[in-house]
Chains A and B, each alone.
Chain A
Amino acid sequence: MNTGSQTRTSTDNWPEVEASCRRILGDRLCQFIDQVKKDPRPESHLIAVLHQVQAEFGYLGTSQLDAVAQLMQIPAAKVSGVASFYHYFRLEPRGRFVVNICFGTACYVKGADRVAEKFKTELGVNLGETSKDGMFTVEACRCLGMCALAPVITVGDDVWAQVTPDRVPSILEGYIARAKGS
């Protein structure tokens, strides 16, 4: 726990702030933050902490970012600056399944745009948006490094290789069935 080197006045509300931040992030994340704070340069672990927060919540919301800023004693402006700089971090909630369409060069020349078009018409969304039922978020990403299997998409942790627009409906149906089954 960091009570800080600053002198605290009688109106210091740090204990309440800390407690509420810890509540927002939950035990596992707080433990992780406590761990990295032992490093002589705790601020260098900010990106790692944000990765963990996103893994837990699926995105980085304002309240989580503020909590991270408080617990790590890093200015909130800097935390949100870092969070918004990197493409990997999401600032808004996403659907149950995240469809990532690779737009690397190899995928692009092999028709990733047509695959994306199909996803957009099937789900009625634009890239970066979530379908109305909250099931799918469709995103474009730079390169998944599976260029030899282009075009490639990922849905959650699953990788789909050599995707054609025709395969899109059946891929989506598979996940809808999975969601209903569970």
Chain B
Amino acid sequence: MKAAVRARFEELRSKAEAALAEARAAFRIRIQVGSATCENAAGATVVFEEFRKHIAASGRTDIGLHRTGCTGRCSREPIVTVFMPDSLPVKYQFVNRELVHKIFTSHVLGGHPLLEHVLDGPLTHLPRFKLLYCTSPRCCQLQRELWGHSPEELLRDLGIGPDLVQVYESSCLGACTPAQVGKLAHVLVQPEKTLYRLRSKDELREVLEKHLLQGQPVERLAVPGKTVGRKFLELYGDVAFFNRQTRVALRHNGVLDPTSIEEYFHYRGFEALATVLERDNPSWVIDQITRSRLRGRGGAGYPTGKKWAFAAASAEPVRYIICNADEGDPGAFMDRSMLESDPFNVIEGMIIGAFAIGASRGFVYVRAEYPLAVERIHNAIAACRDWGLLGEDILGSGFCFDIEVRLGAGAFVCGEETALIHSIEGERGQPRPRPPYPTERGLWDKPTVINNVETFANVPAIINYGPEWFARLGSEESGGTKVFALAGKVCHTGLVEVPMGTPLRDIVVGIGGGPPGGKRIKAVQTGGPAGGCIPESMLDLPVDFGTLTKAGSIMGSGGMIVMDETDCMVDIAKYFMEFTCDESCGKCTPCREGTKRMLEILDRITSGRGTLEDLGKLERLGRLIKKSSLCGLGRAAPNPVLSTLAHFRDEYVQHVTDKRCPAKKCKALIVYVIDPEKCVGCTVCARNCPVSCISGTRREPHVIDQSRCIKCGRCFEVCRFDAVKLT
């Protein structure tokens, strides 16, 4: 049986590779356009269509158009990459209809890249080579020895100028093995995509001289094979936002075409599945996952290996596996991105999980609010069935498994596993008490494993690259990486995948660039409505399940919203309380009534009617809800209030005693006034006021009638003389 699986897999892989090779051979030049909900919202659909028209009009048959998922660099989308023979790929940002025309005529047809539109540019020149050297903890020590003071100095000594090569630091290229840590340094040279494994200064010198100066790669020192993250860094390693990330779950985002199973095969797709089915031993799989220290990425961080082992040990033969893609946390969008950009990876993870626990039916429970993700996952499941990777006798192993897609319908509580199970059963999505846990009695009372999208996305990588590698990437308590959706008041918004244990500051400031306009970070909100606000003073905290919980927040699914000095913490707490109040399913009293009472108190405070006693009440009520609620939603609901009360009590007190909102956010506590010194009497404010409460004659200072003002801020926005003040 074993040999048959491998042979069947190789057969499929050759078929995929042959189809790809044929498609690619026709094209000398390739234009790659991102395509995911964000990209499309930014205009990627138009861009793709425009390129198609340009190629058709040019009559050229050697130019190919390639669709890919999203890289997660949302604030610069749409992103387009142009691959020309023998030169470095060039990535463009903010591409629109006009820019398509310019890129096509100048770069694709004329060979002159538009340096002012390059991603994270502008560039002054395009070098012949790009060199990435790994600065991960496993390579950095030797790299420092090899490169000396600075890479620039070393290159200058060798007579290599910046027009020949541009050097970048990068995160792990994934080629290291535990035994060799500290003895090897990895360097990647582009456009040849040669990954070198170096041991000494002489070897580095040899590479620089032979490869860069003479144009001859040094085969002897090259590492063969496809290491994890390599393809991603090859493409995006020159962008500061990306090269400090370690991409495992997102390793194919922005690299492959999410609608092509052939391309997924090309990037080691289904190799992990073949390995698993060839070994034909579920406990081996569970052991690998346990040793990798993979923990559930949905929020609670339960060890995945342990969960699988529970279900596998059940006496009940019928078992189910569910992929939780009901990404309801406001501020989190990594699951959507993975389903849209790399759906096969998630499916492969699910099949491996199903084999490990002995399930023959699986479900992807996905939000109806994500139509493109639903379409891509449907498409991927259909392709897998066609290729014999889902259904009866997968890869000739005798293992049978199939996946169905079930749509959510906009209930946040359905992210909770027992509520999700009820929703799949066609019921109202209300939770039930645990135990029994779903691994014992889940869907239709059968043992059920529910894992998050990101958890499954990590599984094929763990099998392919080994549990030790994965465990080593992360921290003491949890292996691997975590994807964060960085948004809010930060320069570079998008998806960030970093090793567990990375300090928050590295993510928010190092990769995200901090708030725009030089404003100060006030807090970082993690974990959505179940999480809390972490103050600036605690940003050096290493990100992990345990550390965040200690800080009064949670890891959650990985939403990370940066807030600056103009955000009011009481207002944010109220915002989340409104959310949980609205999303409470109503089954248990502490959550249904408690959140309502907390919201009422917060409402009093933000409208200037609060008392100091209220703060104590909030805390008491919050602790009570945490202790007595039925499910995770209720138990975590008070977190946003309790964490802001703990870290930003001053702000609450100011609202109560001074009747003042320091961030000038709470409407009832702010007043708009017109500065008579600055007002020139242009009447713009009076004409724009929706309640006509501004009076004054032309060229005379105007006055706001405070008794009628609704504090909409319209006058503040339209005044061109800074005469409207907010106090």
Binding site for B on A (CB under 8 A): 41, 43-48, 50-51, 78, 81-82, 85-89, 103-110, 114, 117, 121, 141-150, 152, 157, 159-161, 165
Chain A residues with Cβ below 8 Å from B712 are 117
Chain A residues with Cβ below 8 Å from B561 are 105-106, 109, 147
Q: Are A88 and B41 in contact (CB under 8 A)?
A: no
Name A88's contact: one of B38, B327, B368 (CB within 8 Å): B368
Number of interface residues of B (CB under 8 A): 60
B423 within 8 A of A: yes
> A106-B488, A159-B41 known; A165 and B331 CB under 8 Å?
no
Name B426's contact: one of A44, A105, A145, A159 (CB within 8 Å): A44
Q: Are A148 and B409 in contact (CB under 8 A)?
A: no
Q: Are A86 and B369 in contact (CB under 8 A)?
A: no
Residue of A nearest to B331 (CB): A105
A-B contact pairs, 7 of them (CB 8 A): A86-B411, A105-B330, A109-B488, A143-B329, A147-B332, A148-B38, A148-B74
**Of residues B37, B487, B494, which shows the largest number of chain A Cβ atoms within 10 Å of its Cβ?**
B487
Q: Are B332 and A145 in contact (CB under 8 A)?
A: yes
B412 within 8 A of A: yes
B11 within 8 A of A: no
Output the least CB separation between B512 and chain A (Å): 11
Chain B residues with Cβ below 8 Å from A107 are 330
Q: Provide the bound-state CA to CA distance between A141 and B40, in Å.
A: 20
B42 within 8 A of A: yes
Q: Are A109 and B567 in contact (CB under 8 A)?
A: yes
B489 within 8 A of A: yes
CB-defined interface of B72-85 with A at 8 Å, one 1/0 digit per residue?
Answer: 00110100000000
CB-defined interface of B710-727 with A at 8 Å, one 1/0 digit per residue?
Answer: 001100010000000000
Q: Provide the bound-state CA to CA distance between A84 and B426, in Å.
A: 13
Chain A residues with Cβ below 8 Å from B367 are 145
Q: Are A47 and B407 in contact (CB under 8 A)?
A: yes
Residue of A nearest to B42 (CB): A161
**Of residues B332, B430, B494, B567, which shows the largest number of chain A Cβ atoms within 10 Å of its Cβ?**
B332
Q: Provide the bound-state CA to CA distance between A47 and B447, in Å.
A: 23
> A82-B428, A145-B370 known; A87 and B410 CB under 8 Å?
yes
Name B487's contact: one of A106, A157, A160 (CB within 8 Å): A106
Q: Are A149 and B74 in contact (CB under 8 A)?
A: yes
Q: Are A103 and B330 in contact (CB under 8 A)?
A: yes
Residue of B nearest to A87 (CB): B410
Output the least CB separation between B713 and chain A (Å): 7
Output the least CB separation between B368 and chain A (Å): 5
Chain A residues with Cβ below 8 Å from B412 are 142
Name B578-609 residues within 8 Å CB distance of A. 579, 583, 585
Output the least CB separation between A28 and chain B (Å): 17
Chain B residues with Cβ below 8 Å from A106 are 330-331, 487-488, 493, 561
Residue of A nearest to B337 (CB): A145
Output the least CB separation between A134 and chain B (Å): 24
Which 10 A-B residue pairings sit nearest by Cβ, starting from the closest? A148-B74, A86-B409, A104-B330, A88-B410, A148-B493, A159-B41, A143-B330, A147-B487, A87-B410, A106-B487
Q: Provide the bound-state CA to CA distance between A127 and B37, in Å.
A: 25
B478 within 8 A of A: no
Q: Provide the bound-state CA to CA distance between A78 and B428, in Å.
A: 9
> A105-B525, A147-B493 known; A152 and B41 CB under 8 Å?
yes
Chain A residues with Cβ below 8 Å from B425 are 41, 43-44
Chain B residues with Cβ below 8 Å from A114 are 713
Name B474-511 residues within 8 Å CB distance of A. 485-489, 493-494
Q: Provide the bound-state CA to CA distance between A97 and B393, in Å.
A: 48
Output the least CB separation between A104 and chain B (Å): 3
Q: Provide the bound-state CA to CA distance between A167 and B336, in Å.
A: 27
Chain A residues with Cβ below 8 Å from B284 are none
Q: Provide the bound-state CA to CA distance between A145 and B408, in Å.
A: 15
Q: Provide the bound-state CA to CA distance between A50 and B336, in Å.
A: 23
Q: Are B40 and A159 in contact (CB under 8 A)?
A: yes
Q: Are B40 and A87 in contact (CB under 8 A)?
A: no
Name B42's contact: one of A143, A147, A149 (CB within 8 Å): A149
Chain B residues with Cβ below 8 Å from A89 are 409-410
B532 within 8 A of A: no
Output the least CB separation between A107 and chain B (Å): 8
Name A47's contact: one of B331, B406, B585 (CB within 8 Å): B406
B559 within 8 A of A: yes
Q: Provide the bound-state CA to CA distance between A80 and B563, in Å.
A: 41
Given contacts A108-B330, A109-B561, 6 further A-B contacts (CB under 8 A): A47-B423, A87-B410, A88-B409, A105-B488, A142-B410, A145-B367
Name B444's contact: one of A41, A45, A85, A110 (CB within 8 Å): A41
B22 within 8 A of A: no
Q: Provide the bound-state CA to CA distance between A108 and B429, in Å.
A: 26
Chain B residues with Cβ below 8 Å from A43 are 425-426
CB-defined interface of B384-413 with A at 8 Å, one 1/0 digit per residue?
Answer: 000000000000000000000011111110
Output the least CB separation between B445 and chain A (Å): 12
B438 within 8 A of A: no
Output the least CB separation between B674 and chain A (Å): 20
Chain B residues with Cβ below 8 Å from A48 are 406-407
B575 within 8 A of A: yes
Chain A residues with Cβ below 8 Å from B332 are 143, 145, 147
Chain A residues with Cβ below 8 Å from B426 are 41, 43-47, 82
Residue of A nearest to B714 (CB): A165
Output the least CB separation between B524 and chain A (Å): 11
Q: Provide the bound-state CA to CA distance between A161 and B690, in Å.
A: 26
**Of residues A46, A47, A105, A110, which shows the largest number of chain B Cβ atoms within 10 Å of its Cβ?**
A105
B528 within 8 A of A: yes
Q: Are B410 and A86 in contact (CB under 8 A)?
A: yes
B48 within 8 A of A: no
Q: Provide the bound-state CA to CA distance between A104 and B40, in Å.
A: 19
Chain B residues with Cβ below 8 Å from A117 are 712
> A105-B525, A149-B41 known; A143 and B331 CB under 8 Å?
yes
Chain B residues with Cβ below 8 Å from A87 are 409-411
Q: Provide the bound-state CA to CA distance between A145 and B585, in Å.
A: 22
Residue of B nearest to A42 (CB): B426
B34 within 8 A of A: no
> A103-B330, A109-B489 known; A88 and B423 CB under 8 Å?
no
**Of residues A44, A150, A159, which shows the largest number of chain B Cβ atoms within 10 Å of its Cβ?**
A44
Residue of A nearest to B371 (CB): A157
B328 within 8 A of A: yes
Q: Provide the bound-state CA to CA distance between A133 and B327, in Å.
A: 35
Q: Provide the bound-state CA to CA distance between A32 and B333, in Å.
A: 31
Output the least CB separation between B327 and chain A (Å): 7
Q: Are B494 and A148 in contact (CB under 8 A)?
A: yes
CB-defined interface of B557-579 with A at 8 Å, one 1/0 digit per residue?
Answer: 00101010001000010011001
Chain B residues with Cβ below 8 Å from A51 are 368, 407, 409
Q: Provide the bound-state CA to CA distance between A31 and B690, in Å.
A: 52
> A121-B690, A147-B485 known; A142 and B407 CB under 8 Å?
no
Chain B residues with Cβ below 8 Å from A148 are 38, 74-75, 333, 485-487, 493-494
Name B310-365 residues within 8 Å CB distance of A. 327-333, 336
